[in-house]
Chains A and B, each alone.
Chain A
């Protein structure tokens, strides 16, 4: 486990050092970015709509009962922006994109394609890891912005239509505006940026250390997803603690 953490840290550092070569890889970054965004946007919207809706449904009736209907928007708004959207989207992307990254790089490793790159003096970190890390680091925060907006909308729809809540759109958003600040949204977006780096580094590392045949690739994919989710939750606590000040 400690060896893996050390290797992931080293990979992350090497990728960081390769940043000056990023412009050369812009086409690959664009391709990966399109892949991540295109593959996940609809799923992100559906997931975040229902996350907002569920939060409104859980908190709305309790607050309205205690004559706190003006707080429904604020509670839904802040919980979606600061916690639920970044974490849930990161978990979704770890499952969808992290697994694909580990599988693709893992199969390239197993079928000697990475060795072939090295014999051509092409650095696999520049060619494979850097474009993926950059693409996910840009795409996940953007997806989280979408997720926050759609989550708020989902909460507002349920707050208005549910008979136990009955808070109108205007009341919901005015309550949200009173509590949620721009820095709360920035907080969530920053978290998602950190989660993106975790997903990218863990998935690419698992791909690069794949051994064996198809079974080895399957094992790498599982490890990439599980390790990413565990690290996301741990770092979520650390980042939240750090950003609370």
Chain B
């Protein structure tokens, strides 16, 4: 029996206990423990390849752990019928819309396949969810006609259609422009306040994480490094966490600027600098007029001559 959207809407809790997972010889998760409280927004951050998405797939039941267990409201995720008991939805990084169906059919797929509403009601719900994510006019379009951001928003609409008790987001803002990222972040917050859904977000978007999270977990090489509120994570004295949170792009200007130009440009710069330097030297010595008349040089010659003459006299005197 399916858990219909009209039934229990309370967010669910998740306990992850000692999860381990190997893919061949590669150990991806090395004993992950964490707890997500009902109705909170929990963000898992970490570098690429740290095991974030794999952990997410374990929680929704797409992967089976080699060791450890995952509990949804205290029941193992491997229990028969758990997917029917608790409504959970995953927003894939790519959207994962079914390419053979229209956007509207994709969004209404859960209700259609489980026969939870009449076709007329499904049509209304689909229109409402698409409007909520700003895709009202895309109902009859095919996924191939949508941009990356629109696909992601359609995937969120598809997740919302079941009024889920938990939504898992896999990199919800990747490939999105800053404005769309803000809309997605606001949507995640709005869902928490409106229906009390538990949200588990995997992301390395620091703005999103610190903007929406109640708590953040930092994962690296298959292990949880720290779990805490955004402020606690910011204060956490771990070099990797700090480097991750403070990483910024540095432009190296001078040496690169000269080296990246063509030979001709570099020659031009050299000539201009040389002329400039020559002018400076000449001005220091007394100006161009002095140079033309050779005043300083003739004075120098006179001095040398006098010294020579003086020296000869002294020698002759001896």
Which residues of A does B touch, CB under 8 Å? 24, 104, 107-108, 111-113, 115-122, 127
Which residues of B does A touch, CB under 8 Å? 2, 57, 60-62, 83-84, 88-90, 92, 94, 96-100, 109-110, 113-115, 162
| Interface pair A120/B98, CB less than 8 Å apart | no
- How many angstroms from the CA of A120 to the CA of B2 in the assembled complex? 11
| Interface pair A111/B99, CB less than 8 Å apart | yes
5 A-B residue pairs with CB within 8 Å:
A111-B99, A113-B99, A116-B98, A121-B110, A122-B114
| Interface pair B62/A121, CB less than 8 Å apart | no
- How many angstroms from the CA of A112 to the CA of B115 in the assembled complex? 23
| Interface pair A122/B109, CB less than 8 Å apart | yes
| Interface pair B92/A115, CB less than 8 Å apart | yes
User: Which residues of A have CB within 8 Å of B100?
Assistant: 104
Known: A113-B99, A115-B62, A127-B113. A121 touches B84 (CB 8 A): yes
User: Which residues of A have CB within 8 Å of B110?
Assistant: 120-122
- How many angstroms from the CA of A67 to the CA of B84 in the assembled complex? 73
User: A161 to chain B: closest CB distance in Å?
Assistant: 47
User: Which residues of B have CB within 8 Å of A104?
Assistant: 100
User: Which residues of A have CB within 8 Å of B84?
Assistant: 121
User: A61 to chain B: closest CB distance in Å?
Assistant: 52
| Interface pair A120/B113, CB less than 8 Å apart | yes
Which of the residues A107, A116, A122, A127 comes within 8 Å of B92, measured between beta carbons? A116
User: Which residues of A have CB within 8 Å of B57?
Assistant: 115
User: Which residues of B have CB within 8 Å of A117?
Assistant: 98
Which of the residues B90, B99, B113 comes within 8 Å of A122, measured between beta carbons? B113
- How many angstroms from the CA of A113 to the CA of B97 in the assembled complex? 6
- How many angstroms from the CA of A122 to the CA of B94 in the assembled complex? 19
Known: A111-B99, A113-B99, A127-B113. A119 touches B88 (CB 8 A): yes
User: B240 to chain A: closest CB distance in Å?
Assistant: 30
| Interface hub of B96, B97, B115, B162 (most chain A Cβ within 10 A) | B96
Which of the residues A108, A118, A127 comes within 8 Å of B62, measured between beta carbons? A118
| Interface pair B96/A113, CB less than 8 Å apart | yes
User: Which residues of B have CB within 8 Å of A127?
Assistant: 113
- How many angstroms from the CA of A186 to the CA of B60 in the assembled complex? 49
User: B195 to chain A: closest CB distance in Å?
Assistant: 18
Which of the residues B94, B99, B109 comes within 8 Å of A120, measured between beta carbons? B109
**CB closest residue in chain B, given A104:** B100
| Interface pair A111/B96, CB less than 8 Å apart | yes
- How many angstroms from the CA of A63 to the CA of B25 in the assembled complex? 67
Known: A120-B89, A120-B162. A112 touches B94 (CB 8 A): yes
Q: Which 3 A-B pairs have the closest CB atoms?
A: A116-B96, A112-B96, A121-B83
User: Which residues of B have CB within 8 Å of A116?
Assistant: 90, 92, 96-98
- How many angstroms from the CA of A104 to the CA of B101 in the assembled complex? 13
- How many angstroms from the CA of A28 to the CA of B2 in the assembled complex? 22
**CB closest residue in chain B, given A112:** B96
| Interface pair B94/A111, CB less than 8 Å apart | yes
**CB closest residue in chain A, given B101:** A113
- How many angstroms from the CA of A141 to the CA of B98 in the assembled complex? 31
